[in-house]
Amino acid sequence: MSKRERFAGYVTVFLTLCLISVSWGAETATLRSEVPEEGSVTPLLATGVGKLQSAKFLSNSVVLSNNSVTAWVNAFNTSVTLTGTAQCVKLGFTGEVKIVSDAASDFLVAVRATIDGEVLNSDTFQTVDIADPGVFSLTGMNWWKCRLAPGTHNVKVQFGPFFSGDVASVRQRTLIIEYAQ
């Protein structure tokens, strides 16, 4: 991969994350009207039920692969302990994904996030469309869950191939979990 292609990939991921952040802000504004806040809040860190003042940062460079359309492989599997009152949790995932496929088109990797087994932001998963099969591509996505009760919660980001016969892989990935306390 040339420097120009790599730079274009980084710019694409940056712009995608900016767009996702804007949509997160719109969701925050909607949630803010539904749930009253307690105490003072720093405007840039405001959420629907508190403020994001704690974070858990995870990073991994080990290549993981999955060739099953029925079994998810964990890109991350961790726990987070929340205290205080019910609150919102935001997950931010970035990483490199690729697909190895014999098909002529539609190179897709399925990605989802769960908290305590509940899939976030959709009924199933999100897809990453890979331009060049066999080559790692950058991706980034956010998920959120509001009104999460205090206690310890299991957080997973999982992936797999969209089509049978394909092999999906991830590497060089990060997960940032933001929460109030």
**pLDDT tens for each residue of 20-55:** 444 444 333 333 333 334 443 333 333 444 555 789
Is the pLDDT at 63 greater than 60? The verdict is yes
Dihedral sign, Cα of residue 44, residue 48, residue 51, residue 56: negative
CA 53 to chain centre: 19
**pLDDT tens for each residue of 72-117:** 999 999 999 998 889 889 999 999 999 998 877 789 999 999 999 9
Residue 92 to residue 157: CA distance in whole angstroms: 10
pLDDT at residue number 121: 84
**pLDDT tens for each residue of 122-178:** 767 888 988 888 999 999 999 999 999 999 999 999 999 999 999 999 999 999 999
Residue 71 to residue 159: CA distance in whole angstroms: 9
Helix (H, G, I), strand (E, B) or coil at 36: coil
Q: Which one, of 23, 87, 102, lies nearest residue 51 by Cα?
A: 87
Burial of 101 (0-12, 13-18, 19+ CB in 10 A): buried
In the structure encoding, which two tokens stand for residue 94, read together?
A: 């970035």
Number of domains within the chain: 1
Confidence of residue 19 (pLDDT cuts 50, 70, 90): very low
In the structure encoding, which two tokens stand for residue 150, read together?
A: 């205090």
| 137 HSE (CA, 13 A, CB side) | 17
DSSP output for 105-143: S--EEEEEEEETTEEPSSSS-EEEE-SSTTS-EEEEEEE
CA angle 75, 136, 165 (to 5 degrees): 75
Specify the pairing of strand 151-161 against strand 108-115. Answer: antiparallel
Residue 154 to residue 131: CA distance in whole angstroms: 33
Residue span of the structural domain in which 27 resides: 3-179
Supply the CATH number for residue 147's domain. 2.60.120.1340
pLDDT at residue number 148: 92
